[in-house]
Structure 1
Amino acid sequence: MTAENRGLARIGVLVPYTNTNLEPDLMRMRVPGTTLHAQRMGGYDVDEIPGSDQMAGLGASDISHDLRMIAGVRPDIVLYGCTSATLSHGPTFDTKLAKSIIDTCQAKCVTAAGALVAALQALGVRRIGFSSPYLGEINQQAVRFLESKGIGTLRCADIGRALGNYGQGELTPAEIHDLALRADHAQAEAIVLSCTDMRSVEVVEMIEEALDKPVVTSNQAMMFCVMRALGLPRHSTLPGRLFECL
């Protein structure tokens, strides 16, 4: 048996406790030699439909215990793995949260919401089609968040039905592919699939082939930002045009 090099980088991940897809996606994309270390976060009611108020509550919840736990692995970078939790509060909140994580963990930080912006900026994209598994106000908050960063949304598509916390993660790649196509607009330069619990990473290249434009997902954007922040090398299992920007 050949020993694996595990010394390239340690990636800490803060993940909502019902999320079942963030960690598999990151494992799928991780650079060989890096390791992933997850701490699950509470702060919301699993039995409620995850609307704007619930996601805002998650973003504002006390994560000091979670930060102490993840700091124990001495990570090089920490990911805050919920897009809507900070989209619902706005850019200033997102920046402050990242600074709190940096100060506590003595590590770099990437938030899911901030990663979407960074990825779109790296691609030079100013106009997008946006989609998520949420209904109503969260999507409008996301549109305003991106608009504050100079990114306009030309079309916003939702899944068309209220999903519980587990329902988001149970969407099939085929359903997500259809959702992305419905978010497209002739003048959109890219498609955004927002949510760390959607199985979007698996269909990025299929959507890009169908639409001939870049696709940016929450989990893919976070891995892109990790690789850029740590200077990690590209490899063969990175999905989509975004990684050509490294």
Structure 2
Amino acid sequence: MPADAVTDTLALLNDTHTRLRGPAHVGVLVPWGNTIVETELPRLGLDRVVYHYARLVPARRYRDPDDFLAEIAAAVPATLHQFARLSLAGTLVACTSTGFLTPEAYQDTAVVDAFGALQTLLHDVKASTIILATPYPTRHTQIQAARLQEQGFHVIAHASLDLGLLDDFTAVTPDRIAGLVHGIDAERRSRADAVVLSCTAWPTIDATALLQHELGIPVVSSNLALAYSAVRLARAAEA
């Protein structure tokens, strides 16, 4: 990692936020069953960012997790209309998996999804060699690792809790997340520039602080990355 690289992503977020001159409004599209996004974003203390939430509701019932994600992604264009009367600095899609599995569903819309937000924050902390940790099924974690590789990142190791995509991720504890990362080979951990905690549906703020303290490298979570992109959108609107 370069000598001038950022090692504390929470501090970077707060520093970037303090440069805002006034309040900014940002839309957030949230998968209908996700209760973590609206809990974590306010905890980050960005009092100059006003979030407006809308739910991404599938058009039909589904039985398969992949159908669920496809339906969530397909709902983005229509759900954006709920923000039509608002003056927003930009809109976020608070789902990481749609960004690496089905981004074509909303590629013609002006949104930033959590997968793109993760990459932006990784670039800004000058991280190129990363560890990926997720609650996802192993297959989806492997797909995300491959997509990150395609985007120029070296995924030196990845680990997952191997939960079902339709399972409840909200009860995953910071210690369990930290244990998932510490379960990766120590030699590989020592070569990583950053840890990525992917998924907006598991609680990661406390785990981010814990792992940064223990490992001494930046930790980038999906919700932290969304907040960072919200501030970037706000600063661009001010400019």
TM-score range, shorter chain: 0.7 to 0.9
Q: Report Cα offsets for 1:153-174 as digits up to 9, x if no partner.
A: 11110114x3353511222222
- In structure 1, list runs of 5 or more residues that go unmatched: 1-6, 103-108, 233-246
Q: Which SS does the other structure have where 1:15 is aligned? A: strand
- Residue 8 in structure 1 maps to residue 23 in structure 2: yes
Q: Which SS does the other structure have where 1:205 is aligned? A: helix
Task: Choose the corresponding residue for 1:20, options 27, 35, 49.
Answer: 35
> CA-atom RMSD, angstroms?
2.4
Please give the residue correspondences for 1:39-54 in structure 2 after superposition, counting only pairs within 5 Å.
39-43=54-58, 48=63, 50=65, 52-54=66-68
8 Å CA contact 1:18–1:46 kept in 2: the answer is no
Q: Which SS does the other structure have where 1:129 is aligned? A: strand
- Residue 223 in structure 1 maps to residue 230 in structure 2: no
- Residue 63 in structure 1 maps to residue 76 in structure 2: yes
CA distance in 1, matches of 2:223, 2:212: 16
- In structure 2, list runs of 5 or more residues that go unmatched: 1-21
TM-aligned CA distance change 1:13 to 1:159, over 3 Å: same
- Residue 188 in structure 1 maps to residue 192 in structure 2: yes
**Match for 1:38: what amino acid?**
Y
CA distance in 2, matches of 1:135, 1:77: 31
TM-superposed CA distance for 1:45, in Å, is: 7.8
TM-aligned CA distance change 1:44 to 1:69, over 3 Å: closer
8 Å CA contact 1:176–1:199 kept in 2: the answer is no
8 Å CA contact 2:137–2:165 kept in 1: the answer is no
% identical aligned pairs: 26
8 Å CA contact 1:17–1:40 kept in 2: the answer is yes
**Match for 1:219: what amino acid?**
N
CA distance in 1, matches of 2:35, 2:219: 21
**TM-score w.r.t. length of structure 2:** 0.79
TM-aligned CA distance change 1:55 to 1:137, over 3 Å: farther
TM-superposed CA distance for 1:185, in Å, is: 2.1
Residue 122 (structure 1) aligns with = 124
TM-superposed CA distance for 1:79, in Å, is: 0.6
